Structure formats: structure tokens, C-alpha cells
């Protein structure tokens, strides 16, 4: 079931590379370069050093004693990706790809961002490696995540507000792809999640797999369950991949928004249909004609109508359970974790916490759950404040 390098870029029937012809040589070059460095000792050494000294790896495994006691069920452990430089797991991937770009001789880096976390992590990696970064961000997101726009600019990146389509993450990806088509020779596209045409889903998964590998080392016994939130699916696949061959129950949590029965959610695995977008075949939120739907989530980082192809595959193989939690449940979980443990989680990560709370109650006290806390919530406090003021 576990797929190392996907043949023809396919995880089962999912993935592939549905791309404009102009990008074909660039994708081919990327694939070749990545497969070459994938087992290169020097590359691994250099990335390993950056992850330790610059990003702050390994991240701790924290037993959330108070939360566990409050919920009253299985032991809840938190994999603290929120403690990484920049405040989210995104840096694991941006350091890897920026280093690759440098090896490939590319000096201009472009990236998309939703909440701004990937944009910030890209800007940081580029600043530290001496590369030029330009970030595409949906206009709507530049407003709701204003602080991250300024952070990126401080870090020396240029931010383009995207005003086409729904003006959110998917449109930022569209615009980044258009830029890449136009500047294909000089530019490296640093995608921020386990989505897009092959080899991106493979590459991003490999760079994020450090999360799952550390979990395996840090837990004396393989946990009974692991849980992570799924936007495009990078922190989740990084958590899950090294554990696929174990007996652990694996659960991915999508953004249920106002409920998956409404149209206001971002849960393509729970309520989507197979389709083709952004270079990949996967589950998508779309209408009867195949037009991509506008999505909703309280967390900008999960507000995306698609999902990485490896998740689509793991769903159809019945290896991973995919569930959704609502905005209301997320806020509750956000507050519970903040007050019991003194940890303010990103709203994305609070999705995983919400589900952990739900299932831990039904589990034995001797059992354990590991939740990947993908990021810290400083960026979200205005959103939470507004939400609470409306209640």
C-alpha cells in the first residue's frame, strides 16, 4: 500500500501531471533534479543541518496532561510543529525546495500562499539562502492575514495580491502557475502543499515526512491513533506516511466549515468528486458542470477545494479515515487547548485537536493519540476575537 516513488506520478489512479505544454520541460527537469538529490548524502546533510540549526528540529513530543485529564480518555500527545521557526511545519518543505532550487541554479523563486504561513516560510528560506522570492496571495487573504503580508515584505519578498476568480488560495496557485509559464527558464515554483503536478506531491511529502519519522522515534510504543489536519495535506501526509505500514489508526481532518451538508466547507475528501485541477487528478469540490466551487473555512490555510493525490489514494484504499469538523467545534478546541495547556494553536491545527477530543473520550486511558500541532495561532487571534464577539 505504501508508495515510495509513484510510477508515472500516480498514487493509484490519482495524481499525474495535467499541465500546459510550456511547463513540461520544467517539470521534467524538476523531476530529474529531485530524484537525483533525493538520495544525495551531501544534500541530506546540508538540509539536515538547516533543519536543526535554523528551523529548530527535532520538535518536541509533548504529553498534554491537562487536556487529557479534562477530556478524560486516551492520552493525548502533541507533536509540536508550532515551535518551528516561523511558527508552522511549512519551513520543513521550503528549506528542502529552496535548497533544491539553488542546486538547480534557479535564482528567482515564486510561491502561492493562503494564510500566509507558506509565504512567510518561503520568504525566510529564500532570505537565508540568498534567493529572490515573489509570493502570490489572494486579495481576500491579504486582508484577513494582513500581518503575514507585512512579515513577508519585511523578509524581503514581493507580495502580489491576486484579484482574479475567488481571490483566495486556489487563485493564488493559478497566478503562480501563469507566472511560471511566462518565466519558465529562470524561475522555480516552490509549491507549499502536497498538491500540484508530479513530482510536487512526492517531494513535499518527502520533506514533511520528518514529522512522522520523529513521532516514531519519540513514542516508546506506536500510538493507537495519529491525527492531523488536511488542507492540501502536507503536514498530514508528513505525519502519516512513515506510519502507513503500522497498525496505527490514521485520521485526517478536513475543514467542515458550517457543515459538510452545506456548501460552506472545504472538505473534498468528505464531500467532493474526482476531477482535475492544478495539474493533478484528485477529489475536488465542484459543481455539476465541473466548475470548481468556492470554499469556506474559518482557517485560511484549509480554504482550498482540492487535496493532495496521495490522500485521495489512501482514502480509497481505506487506510486513512477522513473526517470533517465544523468551525464551531474548531473554536471550542482552540479555547480548550489554550486554557488547559497554555498553547495557542493555529486554527488549522485546532481542527485536529477538535477531533482528538471527540475520539479520545471513547478510547481507553491506556491508549494514546498523537496530534500534529501544525502551527501556532498568533496569526489567528483577530479572527477568533471577531468570532467570539459575534456570539
Partner 1 sequence: MTRIQEKFNQLKSKNEAALISYIMVGYPSEKATLAAVRGLIKGGTDIIELGFPFSDPIADGPTIQMASTESLNKGTKIDDFFSIVKKIRKEADIPLVLMTYTNILYNQTYQKFISRAKEVGIDGLILPDMAIEESKDYVKAAKKSGMDTIFLVSPNTQNDRLKKIIKATSGFLYMVAVFGTTGVQTKIHKYTIDALKNTKRSANGKIPVGVGFGISTDKDVHKYVSSGADAVIVGSANIKIMENTPVNKIESKIFTFTKKLKNKTR
For the annotated catalytic residues, the residue numbers are 90, 112, 374
Q: Does 276 help bind partner 1 (rule: CB under 8 A)?
A: yes
HSE-CB for 305 with a 13 A CA cutoff: 27
Q: Does 233 help bind ligand PLP (rule: CB under 6 A)?
A: yes
Which of 348, 368, 369, 370 binds ligand PLP (CB under 6 A)? It is 348
Q: Name the minimum Å distance from CB 73 to ligand PLP.
A: 24
164 binds, among partner 1, ligand PLP, none (CB under 5 to 8 A by kind): partner 1
Stretch of 68-76, 275-283, 320-328, 383-391 lying at the interface with partner 1 (CB under 8 A): 275-283
Which of 193, 248, 286, 360 binds ligand PLP (CB under 6 A)? It is 193
Which of 36, 49, 245, 290 binds partner 1 (CB under 8 A)? It is 290
203 binds, among ligand PLP, partner 1, none (CB under 5 to 8 A by kind): none
Q: Does 24 help bind partner 1 (rule: CB under 8 A)?
A: yes
Q: Is 279 left (phi over 0), alpha (psi -120 to 50) or beta?
A: left
Other CB atoms within a 10 A radius of the CB of residue 261 amount to 9
Binding letters toward partner 1, positions 150-189, x by CB under 8 A: --------------xx----xx--x--xx--xxxxx----
278 binds, among ligand PLP, partner 1, none (CB under 5 to 8 A by kind): partner 1
Q: Which of 63, 274, 90, 337 is nearest to 194 (CA)?
A: 90
Q: Does 229 help bind ligand PLP (rule: CB under 6 A)?
A: yes
Stretch of 170-178, 230-238, 273-281, 285-293 lying at the interface with ligand PLP (CB under 6 A): 230-238
Cell numbers for 137: 496571495
Q: Does 20 help bind partner 1 (rule: CB under 8 A)?
A: yes
Q: Does 105 help bind partner 1 (rule: CB under 8 A)?
A: no
Stretch of 105-113, 153-161, 270-278, 371-379 lying at the interface with partner 1 (CB under 8 A): 270-278
Stretch of 8-16, 55-63, 115-123, 286-294 lying at the interface with ligand PLP (CB under 6 A): 115-123
Binding letters toward ligand PLP, positions 23-62, x by CB under 6 A: ----------------------------------------
Q: Does 284 help bind partner 1 (rule: CB under 8 A)?
A: yes
Helix (H), strand (E), coil (C) string for the chain: CCCCCCHHHEECCEECCCCCHHHHHHHHHHHHHHHHHCCCHHHHHHHHHHHHHHHCCCCCEEECHHHHHHHCCCEEEEEEHHHCCCCECHHHHHHHHHHHHHHCCCCEEEEEECCCHHHHHHHHHHHHHCCEEEEEEEHHHHHHCHHHHHHHHHCCCEEEEECCCCCCHHHHHHHHHHHHHHCCCCEEECCCCCCCCCCHHHHHHHHHCHHHHHHHHHCCCCCCEEEEECCCCHHHHHHHHHHCCCCCEEEEEEECCCCCCCCCCECHHHHCEEEEECCEEEEECECCCCCECCCCCCCHHHCCCCCCHHHHHHHHCCCEEEEEECHHHHHHHHHHHHHHHCCCECHHHHHHHHHHHHHHCCCCCCCEEEEEECEECHHHHHHHHHHHHCC
d(CA 369, CA 261): 28
Which of 96, 167, 374, 383 binds ligand PLP (CB under 6 A)? It is 374
- Restricting to residues 276-315, which ones interact with ligand PLP according to CB under 6 A? 301-302
Q: Does 231 help bind ligand PLP (rule: CB under 6 A)?
A: yes
Q: Classify the C-alpha dihedral 15-19-23-28 as positive or negative.
A: positive
Q: Does 235 help bind ligand PLP (rule: CB under 6 A)?
A: yes
Q: Closer CB to ligand PLP, residue 223 or residue 233?
A: 233
Binding site for ligand PLP (CB under 6 A): 88, 114-115, 117-118, 193, 229-236, 301-302, 346, 348-349, 374-375
Binding site for partner 1 (CB under 8 A): 8, 16-22, 24-25, 164-165, 170-171, 174, 177-178, 181-185, 273-279, 281, 284, 286, 288-292
Amino acid at each position: 500500500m505504501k508508495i515510495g516513488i509513484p510510477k508515472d506520478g500516480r498514487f493509484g489512479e490519482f495524481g499525474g501531471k495535467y499541465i500546459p505544454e510550456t511547463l513540461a520541460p520544467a517539470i521534467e527537469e524538476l523531476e530529474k533534479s529531485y530524484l537525483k538529490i533525493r538520495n544525495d548524502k551531501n544534500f541530506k546533510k546540508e538540509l539536515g543541518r538547516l533543519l536543526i540549526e535554523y528551523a529548530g528540529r527535532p520538535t518536541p513530543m509533548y504529553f498534554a496532561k491537562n487536556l487529557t485529564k479534562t477530556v478524560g480518555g486516551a492520552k493525548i500527545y502533541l507533536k509540536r510543529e508550532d515551535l518551528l521557526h516561523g511558527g508552522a511545519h511549512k519551513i520543513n518543505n521550503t528549506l528542502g525546495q529552496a535548497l533544491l532550487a539553488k542546486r538547480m541554479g534557479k535564482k528567482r523563486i515564486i510561491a502561492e500562499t493562503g494564510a500566509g504561513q507558506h509565504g512567510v516560510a518561503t520568504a525566510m528560506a529564500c532570505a537565508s539562502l540568498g534567493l529572490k522570492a515573489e509570493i502570490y496571495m489572494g486579495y481576500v487573504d491579504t486582508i484577513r492575514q494582513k500581518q503575514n503580508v507585512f512579515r513577508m515584505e519585511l523578509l524581503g519578498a514581493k507580495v502580489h495580491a491576486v484579484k482574479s476568480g475567488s481571490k483566495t488560495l486556489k487563485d493564488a496557485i493559478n497566478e503562480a502557475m501563469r507566472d511560471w509559464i511566462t518565466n519558465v527558464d529562470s524561475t522555480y515554483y516552490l509549491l507549499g502543499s502536497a498538491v500540484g503536478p508530479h513530482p510536487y506531491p512526492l517531494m513535499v511529502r518527502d520533506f514533511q515526512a520528518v514529522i512522522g519519522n520523529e513521532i516514531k522515534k519519540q513514542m516508546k510504543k506506536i500510538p493507537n491513533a495519529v491525527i492531523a489536519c488536511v488542507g492540501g495535506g502536507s503536514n498530514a501526509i508528513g505525519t502519516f506516511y512513515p506510519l502507513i505500514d503500522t497498525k496505527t489508526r490514521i485520521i485526517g481532518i478536513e475543514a467542515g466549515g458550517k457543515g459538510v451538508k452545506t456548501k460552506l466547507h472545504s472538505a473534498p475528501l468528505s464531500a467532493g468528486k474526482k476531477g482535475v485541477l492544478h495539474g493533478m487528478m484528485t477529489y475536488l469540490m465542484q459543481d455539476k458542470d465541473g466548475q470548481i466551487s468556492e470554499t469556506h473555512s474559518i482557517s485560511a490555510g484549509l480554504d482550498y477545494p482540492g487535496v493532495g493525490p496521495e490522500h485521495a489514494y489512501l482514502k480509497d484504499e481505506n487506510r486513512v479515515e477522513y473526517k470533517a469538523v465544523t468551525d464551531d467545534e474548531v473554536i471550542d478546541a482552540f479555547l480548550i487547548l489554550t486554557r488547559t495547556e497554555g498553547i495557542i494553536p493555529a486554527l488549522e491545527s485546532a481542527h485536529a485537536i477538535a477531533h482528538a477530543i471527540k475520539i479520545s473520550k471513547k478510547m481507553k486511558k491506556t491508549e494514546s493519540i498523537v496530534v500534529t500541532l501544525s502551527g501556532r495561532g498568533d496569526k489567528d487571534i483577530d479572527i477568533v476575537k471577531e468570532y467570539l464577539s459575534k456570539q
